Structure 1
Amino acid sequence: MDDTDLLDTLVGHLGCSGVSVSVMFGKPALKDAGGKAFACLFQGELACRLGQGTQAHTEALALSGAQLFDPSGRDRPMKDWVCVPRAFLDRWPEFASAALSVPR
């Protein structure tokens, strides 16, 4: 399954209109109806905007291998975003849904 197929599957799990597959930081991403990215694939993981301090953010960071999203690779992580490893692919829909519901 390629990256686009993975994101298309997530869109199907989300079951809401207006979510589209797009690009963020040159990587495949999910955007809401307003065009705001809330998740993307990065280095084989799903990075989700979960909102620092939310239950979903805490749960995602507790997963083995999970980390804050640092797209620059310069130790400047985006504190609201968590990279969920592919080992937890079965939980990606849960975190994508949580990311979609986080207020901008």
Structure 2
Amino acid sequence: MNAEEDFKQVGAELADLGVRVSRMMGRPALKDQAGKVFASLQRDGAMVFRLVRDTPEHTAAMRLDGATLFDPSGQGRAVKDWVVVPHSWAGQWADLAEAALSRPR
């Protein structure tokens, strides 16, 4: 599957939890029941997840080969609660999305 199909699959797997597929800044995104984005598909086929730093989920995501902190500006100002996970780890995306969905507010 390609990244877009894998992203849609994650959305479908989490639909029973009130997740809906939407868009954020022109990119496919997953929103919770309150309408807040917690994951998004990037142009390069990676997926970015909101995972609270210093949690086991954030640490595990950062250990995946190629994972990085999200830098939306590309100017070296990473957003530490967002982790970019390459498409090569698409098999982990559903678990990461579920962790992002259930993150503390």
> What is the TM-score normalised by the length of structure 1?
0.90
Number of aligned residue pairs: 103
Normalised TM-score (structure 2): 0.89
Alignment partner of 2:52: what SS?
Answer: coil
> C-alpha displacement at 1:23, in angstroms?
1.2
Q: What CA RMSD, in Å, does the superposition of the two structures yield over aligned residues?
A: 1.5
In the TM superposition, structure 1's runs of 4+ consecutive aligned residues that sit over 6 Å from their partners are: none
Distance 2:103 2:84 in 1: 16
Q: Structure 1 stretch 6-15 or stretch 23-32: which is displaced more?
A: 6-15
Identity %: 47
Q: 1:103 to 1:16 in 2, by over 3 A?
A: farther
Structure 2, unmatched stretches of 5+, are: none
CA contact (8 A) 2:6 2:90 kept: no
Aligned partner of residue 56 in structure 1, secondary structure = helix
Matches within 5 A, 1:18-57: 18-42=18-42, 43-57=44-58
| 1:72 counterpart letter in structure 2 | S
Distance of aligned partners of 1:20 and 1:70 in 2 relative to their CA distance in 1, 3 Å threshold: same
More moved, 5-14 vs 60-69: 5-14
Q: For the Cα contact (< 8 Å) 2:40–2:47, is it kept in 1?
A: yes
For 2:30, the aligned partner's letter is: L
Q: Evaluate the alpha carbon distance shift between residue 15 and residue 28 of structure 1 in structure 2; reply closer, same or farther with a 3 A threshold.
A: closer
Query: What's the CA shift string for 1:58-91, capped at 9, x where partnerless?
Result: 0000111100011111111110010011111111
Partner of 1:72: 73
Distance 2:3 2:79 in 1: 26
